[in-house]
Amino acid sequence: MVEFLPEALSEFLKANPQIRVDVEERVSAEIVRGLEEGVADLGICRDVVPMGSLDALPYRADHLALIVPRGHPLAAEANVGFEQTLAFDHLGLSSNASVNALMQRIAAEKGRELNYRTYVSTFDAAYRFIQAGLAVAILPGEALPRHAADEYGIVAVPLCDAWAERRFVICVRDRGALTLAASHLLDHLLRAV
C-alpha cells in the first residue's frame, strides 16, 4: 500500500492538522485481529482474509508485476506467467511475507522451487539488487514509479496469473461507533480512490 496510502494520508493531515494518525504496517490477519481486539480504529488489508464480524469496505486494487533490469530476457514481454519467473533467482521484500509464502506454495504445487537469493526491507534496496542483475522480484507494479524505473534502468512486467490481482478493503469494527476523527479519515480514504 506504500504506492497509494502516504499521499492520501498527507492530504488528510494537511486538511485536518488537529487529528493525529498513527500508522503501523502489519500483515492482513494481524490487522483483522487488532481491529477485533479494539487496538485500532480502522485497517487496510487484503479482501481474502476472513473478516469475522468486521465491516469491510472496498478500497483499492493493485497488480503484481515482475521487476527486472531493462536487458533481462523477460523485460520486453507484455506480461509473464509466474511459472516463467521460476527460472531466475528471486529477491524477496521482507514486508511482503504473505506474497512470498503464496508464491512458494504455488511453485511447490507446480513441482517447482522458488529460489530466493536475498531478502531486503525497502523498495530502494530491491531496485538496486535488480539493477545489478542479482535477482528479479515480484512486487506491486504500482510501487515502481516512473522516476525509479528510469533511475535504476528497470521495468515492471505484469503477471498474467489471476492471483496477481489483489484487492484491498478498509475494515472497521463498527462504522457507526467510530470516533469523529476516524470517521473523517475513513470518508477521506474512500473519496481518495
116: CATH: 3.40.190.290
Q: Do both 150 and 66 map to the same domain?
A: yes
Domain range spanning residue 33?
Answer: 5-60+166-191
pLDDT at 93: 86
Spatial contact of 18 and 36, defined as CB atoms under 8 Å apart: no
Mean pLDDT, residues 154-159:
97
Is the model's pLDDT at 23 over the cut of 80? yes
CATH of the domain at 48: 3.40.190.10
Q: Do both 144 and 174 map to the same domain?
A: no
Mean pLDDT of the chain: 92
Q: Do both 20 and 109 map to the same domain?
A: no
Other beta carbons within 10 Å of 179: 10
Is the model's pLDDT at 1 over the cut of 80? no
Spatial contact of 81 and 160, defined as CB atoms under 8 Å apart: yes
Residue 171 bridge partners (DSSP): 43, 56
DSSP state of 96: G
Is the model's pLDDT at 193 over the cut of 80? no
Q: Do both 183 and 144 map to the same domain?
A: no
Q: Do both 186 and 160 map to the same domain?
A: no
Q: Do both 23 and 81 map to the same domain?
A: no
Measured CA to CA, the distance from residue 140 to residue 165 in angstroms comes to: 9
Measured CA to CA, the distance from residue 80 to residue 83 in angstroms comes to: 8
pTM here is 0.82
Q: Do both 65 and 160 map to the same domain?
A: yes
- Helix or strand (DSSP H, E) at 167: strand 165-172
